[in-house]
Amino acid sequence: MSMTVQHGMLPLERRQAALRAALPWVLVALAAFVAPFLLSSGFGLSLLCRMGIAIVFALSFNMLLGQGGMLDFGHAVLLGFGGFAAMHAMRAAGAGLWIPAPLLPLFGAAGGLLAALLGGWVAARRHETAFAMITLGLAELASAAVLMFPSLFGGEEGITGDRSDGPALFGLGFGRQWNVYFLIATWAFGCSFLMWRYTATPLGRLANAVRDDDQRVSFLGYDPARVRFLVFLLSGLFAGIAGGLQALNDEIVTSTNVSSEASGAVLLMTFIGGVGTFWGPVLGAILVTFLQIALSTMTDAWQLYDGLLFLAAVVWAPGGLSGIILAHTPLLRAGRGAALVGPYAAQLPGLALALAGVVWLAELGFRLQAVRNGAPAGLLLGMTARPHEIWQWAIGVALLLAGATLLHRFWPRAKMAWQAQMAATIAA
Amino acid sequence: MSAAATIPVLEVSGAGLSSPDGAVAALAIRDLRKSFGPTAIIKGVTLEVAVGERHAVIGPNGAGKSTFFHLVSGRLRPDAGQILLNGADVTGLAPHVISRRGLSRSFQVTALFGRMSVFENLRVAAMQALGVGYDFIRPIASRAKLNARAEEMLELTGLAARRHVAAGALAYADQRALEIGVAVAGNASIVLLDEPTAGMSHAETDRAVSLIRRVTAGRTLVMIEHDLGVVFDLADRISVLADGQVIASGLPAAVRADPAVRVAYLGTAADTLS
Amino acid sequence: MSLTLAPILFNGLVFGLLLFMLSSGLTLIFGMMGVLNLSHASFYMLGAYLAYTISVGLGFWVGLVVAPVLVGLIGAVVQRYGLRAVHRYGHMAELLFTFALALVIGEVVPLIWGRNPVRYQVPHVLDFPLFQLGGTDIPAYRVFMMAVSLGMFVALFTALARTRLGLVVRAALTHPDMVSMLGHDVPRVFTSVFGAGCALAGLAGVIGGNAFTTQPGMAASLGGIVFAVVVMGGLGSIWGAFVASVLIGLLQTASISLDLPFGRLLGLPPAGSDGLLADLWSLTVARAAPAVPYLLLVLVLAFRPRGLFGSRNA
C-alpha cells in the first residue's frame, strides 16, 4: 500500500522508481515459474495450485479488511458463487458450448460480482461491527440458500464437471495438473497485479480513507457507503475468480465452498500474513495453505491449532507476519540485526516448551476420544499415549507452564532490545 | 414564533462586508431547529454570512455551537428551518452532497485519516474539487493537477517536511494544521472550522491564526472559537449563540458592547471582552 | 390446528426465555463496552458441558449452581487477560478476538467431550409429564426451565434497579461516554459485567443443554439466533432483547413444527419436478425457518440499525 511512485521527481528518478516497483513482480513471476519444477510431485503440484487460488482469495479479502476496514465474515460466499457460476459454465462447455477452460474464471468473476451486488447492496450501508454482523448473517443465508435450491447448487453433493470436456484453446488441454498449475499461476499473477494497481487509484485511496474515518470522507464530497459498495464489488469480482479457479482445479463445487469455515480460513490467512501491507496476505495464503494441508495429514487437531494460531496472532501479533517483518526492516538495513539475535534466541526454549505443551495436551485429548471410540490410543512423541492417566496430562500442563514462565521472564528483554535498536536506528 | 422576534438581535451592517446589493449570502440560515428527544438544542437560529466574510460563532459551553455546525454540514438533519448555500437550498441533504456544493468543515476532535500519510490526507481531500470520481482504473499519481494541489497544500500548512508521516503519528499542533489543510484542500467556497485552536499553546495559536488567514483568503469562513483573542483578531463579524439561539450578531465592536451578550454569555467575567 | 397451538405457544415461550438468558448478557456487554461478543454462545455450550460433567459425579442440582459460576469465572478471565489486552487495537480487534475464541472453544469442547452428543439428562425428579396442553404432554422440566428463566429475569432487573453496580450499568447504557466520570473502577465493572453475562449464558446452557442436545454444534446453531435477537431488540436494550427473544422463540418453535411445503401451504399447483420453482414449491417451512433470524438480522442492521425496539444506533 505504500506509495511507490513519488512526485516532483526527475524523469530519471521516476524511471528508477518504476524499475524498483517492477522488481518484486519480476521475482514473483520467476518464483511462480520455477516452483512447479522444484515441487513436481502430485502432492507438491496440487499444493501449489491451492496456494495460487488462496493468494487471489486472500488479496481480495484484504481489499476489504486491511485496505477498506471492512471485516467480511462471509467472504467465502463470493468465492462459492464464483465457483458455482464457473462450474455451470464448465458443464455448459461439456454440453457443447464454446467455452475454453482458461476462460472459466471469467464466469467465476461474474458469479462473484453478482453475489457482491446482492450482498453489498445491504452490507455496504454500514461499517465496522454492523458491517461484520451483516456479512455474518448473509453468510448463513447463503449457506441455507445453497442447500434449499438443489437444482442450482446440487444440494449436499454439490455439482461436478470435467474441465477437459470443453474446447481446447491454442491446442491446450487441461487434463494434466501441470497445465492447470500454469493456468492458475497466470490468473493469480494477473489478478494480484490488478489488485495492487487498484490500491494506487482514487478509489483505492478512498477505501483507505473510509477505513480510517468514514465520516470525514463524506465531508470531502464522497459517499462512504458508495465507496464501500464499489470496493465490495471489486473484491467480489476477484474472489469470484478465485472461486472459478477452485472449480477448475477441484472439478467439484459444494456447499462447503460457501461455508463459514471457508470464510474463517481466508480471515486466518490474511490476518496471519498481515492486513497492513499489500503483500502480507500473499505470505499468509502460502503459509496457512501449507500448514493446513500438512497438519491435516498429520493430526486430527489441525483445526484447533488453526484457531489457537489465529487467537495468538490477534493478541500478540496484530500486524501479522508482514507487520513483524516491517518492524525489523529498518533495523536490518541499518545493520543492527545482529544485536537482536541473542535476545530473540533466548525466547526459543520458552516458545518450544509452550508449543510442546499445547501440542501434547491437544494430542492427548484426541487420543482420549479415540480410546473412547474403541480405537487404540497409539503413540505420542514416541511414548504410548495413556490418556486416562492423569500424569500424562500433568506433563502437558507442566510443559506449558514452564514455557509460559520462560517467555514471561525473557520476553521483556527481547522487546527492550528491539526498542533500543529501533531508537538507535531512528537517531542515526 | 422565531427567536429573532423575541430577542433583540443586533443588526449592524458591516460596511463593505455585508452582501452588495442583490448578491446572495454565502450562507443563509432561517429559523433552524433541532431537538434530541425532548431536549431542544437549536431553538430557531437565523443567520446570514456574506461572501468573503470571516464569521465567528461564539457562546458558552452547551449553547449548541457544534450541533449547529453538524446541521449546516449535513451530519445531522434539522427538524425545521432552512439552510441556503449560495442561494441554493441544501436543507437535509447528505454531507457529501453539501460538500460538493462548496461547503467543507473541520472537526473539534481531530478527524484525519490516521494511517495515511500527510500527503495522502491532503490529496484525498483535494480530489473532489478537481473532478476525480470513484475511479479504480487510472492511478492517482498520474493526475498532475491533483498532485500539484496536494503539494501546494503541503507548503501552505507548513507540513512539507512531514509529508510521509502517518497523520496519526503527527504531533498535536501538526494534526490541527493538517485538519485545517484537509478542510480547505478541496477549494470549498465556504469553510466551517470547529475550534481550530482548541488545546493549543500561545505560540501554536499564533501560528494557527496565521495559517487560517492564509488558507481562507478569498473564501467565506465560519468558525467556532473559544479563544476571544483569536475571534477578535480574525473575525469580520461575530454571532453569539446562547441556549440554542442567536442573541447577537454584528461587528466585533458592537457585539463587545452589547449588554445582552455580557449578561447571557459572559456573566461576571465581562471584563475578558475588553 | 387450534388444539396444537397451545403447546407450540408454551414451548415457544420457554425457548424465548432461554434466548433471553443469552441475549440479555450479550446486549448488556455490547451496550457497555461496544464489544459484540461473538463467542457468547460458546459460553452457553460450556455451561451445558460443565453441567453435564458435574451432574455425572454430583448430580444435576450441584451443576445448576456450580456450572454458571465456573462459566462466569472463565468469562471474567477472558475479559481480563484477553479482551482488555486487545482493546488498544480497536473494536475490530476485539471482534476478531471473540471470533477466534469461539473457534477455539468450538475445537476444545470436542477434544474434551467428543464429537458426539453427550448424555446430559433431565434430572429424574423432573422427568415426568406435568400436565397436558392441547393433547400434548408438557414435561415438568419445561415448567422448571420457565421458572428458572423468570426467576433470573426478576433477579436481573432487581440487580439493575437496586444495586450500585446496576446503577453504573444503566448509566453506562444511556451515556456510554460518561461511565469513567462516575468515579468507578471502570475496568473492574467491565470484567464483572462480562463475567456476569457469560454466567447467564452458562446458566442457559445448564438448563437448555438437557432439554435439547448437548453437542459441539450447539453454540453455532444458537449463536446466530442470539445475534439476531439482540440486533432486533436494539443493541444495548434489555427490554428490546426481551421482546425480541420471546418473538423469535415463538416464531422458531411454530415454524419448525410446520413441516409443510410452501407450495402446498399457499395452495399453489406443483411447479414441475425440477428447477428453481420446484425447489421453492417443495421447500418446507421447517427447513426455511432456521434462516429467518439471519434474514431479520441482515434487514434490521441494514435498514433500521436502531433495532425494532431500541433507541440507539448500532
Q: How many CB atoms lie within 10 A of CB C35?
A: 21
Given an 8 Å threshold on Cβ–Cβ distance, is A5 in contact with B141? yes
Out of A130, A314, A368, closest to residue C93 by CB = A314
More confident residue, A169 or A243: A243
Q: What is the pLDDT of residues A209-260, one digit of tens each?
A: 999 999 999 999 999 999 999 999 999 999 999 999 999 999 999 999 999 8
How far is Cα C245 from Cα C272, in angstroms, rounded to an integer? 39
Q: Determine the pLDDT at residue B163.
A: 95
Short-list A240, A242, A238, A292, CA closest to A265: A292
Phi, psi of B117 (to 5 degrees): -70, 165
Give the separation between CA A70 and CA A135, rounded to whole angstroms.
10
Closest CA to A82 of A195, A243, A213, A207: A243
Question: Which candidate from C107, C276, C303 shows the least CB-CB separation from A307?
Answer: C107
Contact predicate A130/A234, CB 8 Å: no
* C86, C97, C298 member nearest A137 (Cβ): C298
| Residue C139 host element (H or E) | strand C136-139
Sequence-ordered alpha helix ranges (H) in A200-259: 202-212, 214-218, 224-250
Predicted local confidence at residue A428, as pLDDT: 78
The interface residues of chain B toward chain A in range 168-207, judged by CB-CB distance below 8 A, are: 182, 186
- Reported as a single tens digit per residue, the pLDDT across B197-207 is 988 999 999 99
Mean pLDDT, rounded, for B106-118: 94
CA end-to-end span of chain B, whole Å? 34
Q: Are A276 and C86 in contact (CB under 8 A)?
A: no
Say yes or no: C259 contacts chain A, CB-CB below 8 A. no
List chains touching C (3+ CB pairs under 8 A): A
- Coil, helix or strand for B216? coil
Q: Write down the pLDDT at residue C157.
A: 86
Question: Across chain B, what does the average pLDDT equal?
Answer: 87
Distance CA A384, CA A392 (A): 10
Summarize the confidence of residues B74-86 as an average pLDDT: 94
Q: Give the three-class secondary structure for B58.
A: strand
Contact assessment for residue C32 and residue C238, using Cβ atoms and an 8 Å cutoff: no
**Of the candidates B114, B119, B139, which has its C-beta nearest A200's C-beta?**
B139
Q: Which residue has the higher pLDDT, C279 or B35?
A: B35
In this prediction, residue B16 has a pLDDT band, given cuts at 50, 70 and 90, of very low
Q: Which residues, including other chains, have CB under 8 Å from residue C148's CB and lie 6 or more apart?
A: C203, C207
Say which amino acid occupies A127.
H
**Predicted local distance difference test score (pLDDT) of residue A251:** 95
What share of chain A in percent tops pLDDT 70? Answer: 96
B270 has a pLDDT exceeding 50: no
Distance from CA of A134 to the nearest CA of C (A): 5
Q: What is the mean pLDDT of residues B158-176?
A: 95
Statement: residue A13 has pLDDT above 90 = no
| Distance from C-alpha of A365 to C-alpha of A354, rounded to nearest angstrom | 17
Q: Which residues contact C310 (CB under 8 A, 6 or more apart)?
A: C233, C234, C235, C236, C237, C240
Q: What is the pLDDT of residue C166?
A: 82
C-alpha cell at A160: 461436478
> Given the C-alpha cell 430577542, which residue does it identify?
B7
Match 415438568 to its residue by C-alpha cell: C140
Chain A contact residues (CB < 8 Å to B): 3, 5, 7-8, 197-198, 200-206, 208-209, 211-213, 215-224, 226-227, 230, 234
Lowest mean pLDDT among A306-315, B16-25, B154-163, C156-165: B16-25
Question: Is the Cβ pair A366, C302 closer than 8 Å?
Answer: no
Interface residue C78 vs chain A (CB under 8 A):
no
Write b or e for each residue in A343-364: b if 16 or more Cβ atoms lie within 10 A of its Cβ, otherwise e.
bbebeeebeebbebbbbbbbbb
Q: Give the residue from C71, C76, C38, C78 showing the smallest Cα distance to C53.
A: C71
Cell 481550530 found at: B196
Radius of gyration of chain C (CA): 20
Assess contact for C146 and C138: CB atoms under 8 A: no
C-alpha–C-alpha distance, residues A248 and A105, integer Å? 8
Of C89, C106, C305, the CB nearest to A318: C89
Compute and round to an integer the Cα radius of gyration of chain B.
19
At residue A172, the pLDDT reads 72
**Whether C86 and A318 lie within 8 Å, measured CB to CB:** yes
pLDDT tops 50 at residue A5: no
> In the A/C pair of chains, how many CB contacts fall below 8 A?
132
Asked if A213's CB is within 8 angstroms of B112's CB, the reply is: yes
Q: CB burial class (10 A; 0-12, 13-18, 19+) of residue C177?
A: exposed
Q: What is the pTM of this model?
A: 0.91
**B204 phi and psi, to 5 degrees?**
-65, -40
Question: What part of C 129-188 touches A (C-beta under 8 Å)?
Answer: none
In terms of CA atoms, which chain C residue is nearest residue A370? C114
CB A73 within 8 A of CB A132: yes
Under an 8 A CB cutoff, do A212 and B115 touch? yes
From B113, B119, B128, residue closest to A212, measured CB to CB: B113
Q: DSSP 3-state assignment of A300? A: coil
Contact assessment for residue C214 and residue C120, using Cβ atoms and an 8 Å cutoff: yes
pLDDT at B93 exceeding the cut of 70:
yes
Looking at the DSSP bridge assignments, the partners of residue B33 are: B43, B80
Average pLDDT of chain A is: 91
Phi/psi of residue B238, nearest 5 degrees = -130, 140
Amino acid letter, C261: P
- Give Cα separations from C301 to B53, C294, C307 (angstroms): 43, 11, 7
In the block, residue with C-alpha cell 494434466: A176
**Which parts of chain C register pLDDT below 50?**
1-2, 313-314
- Maximum average pLDDT range among A169-173, B48-52, C303-307: B48-52
Contact C170, C46 (CB under 8 A): no
What is the spatial distance between Cα A240 and Cα A60, in angstroms, rounded to a whole number? 9
* pLDDT of residue A282 exceeding 70: yes
pLDDT > 50? residue B14 = no
* Number of helical H runs and strand E runs in chain C: 14, 2
Most confident of the following: A121-130, A360-369, C253-262: A121-130
CB A104 within 8 A of CB A243: no
Q: Are A219 and B99 inside 8 Å of each other by CB? A: yes
Determine whether the interchain pair A202/B133 forms a contact, defined as Cβ–Cβ distance below 8 Å.
yes
According to the per-residue pLDDT averaged within each range, which of A14-18, A338-342, A369-373, B256-260 is highest?
A338-342
* Tens-place pLDDT, residues B188-242: 999 999 999 988 999 999 999 999 999 999 999 999 998 888 999 999 999 999 8
pLDDT, residue B265, reads 64
With CA atoms as reference, the chain A residue closest to C106 would be A304
Query: Is B139 in contact with A197 (Cβ distance < 8 A)?
Result: yes
pLDDT of residue A198 exceeding 50:
yes
CA pair distance A344, C249, nearest whole angstrom: 54
Distance CA B29, CA B47 (A): 5
pLDDT band with cut points at 50, 70 and 90 for residue B268: very low
As a whole number of angstroms, the distance between CA A308 and CA B202 comes to 52
Cα(C96)–Cα(A391) distance, rounded to whole angstroms?
A: 35
What is the C-alpha separation between B188 and B166, in angstroms, rounded?
A: 25
Q: Give the closest residue to C97 by CA, choosing from A70, A308, A285, A280.
A: A308
Nearest of B136, B118, B229, B115 to residue B177 by alpha carbon? B118
Torsion angle (degrees, nearest 10) of CA C244, C245, C246, C249: 120
Whether the Cβ atoms of residue B177 and residue B211 lie closer than 8 Å to each other: yes
Contact A121, A191 (CB under 8 A): no
pLDDT of residue C2: 47
pLDDT at C171: 77
A303–C227 CB contact, under 8 Å: no
The pLDDT, as a whole number, for residue A10 is 66
Look at residue B171 in the predicted model and tell me its pLDDT: 94
Residue written as cell 454500514? Answer: A126
Q: What is the DSSP letter of B23?
A: P
Touching chains, B (3+ CB pairs < 8 A):
A
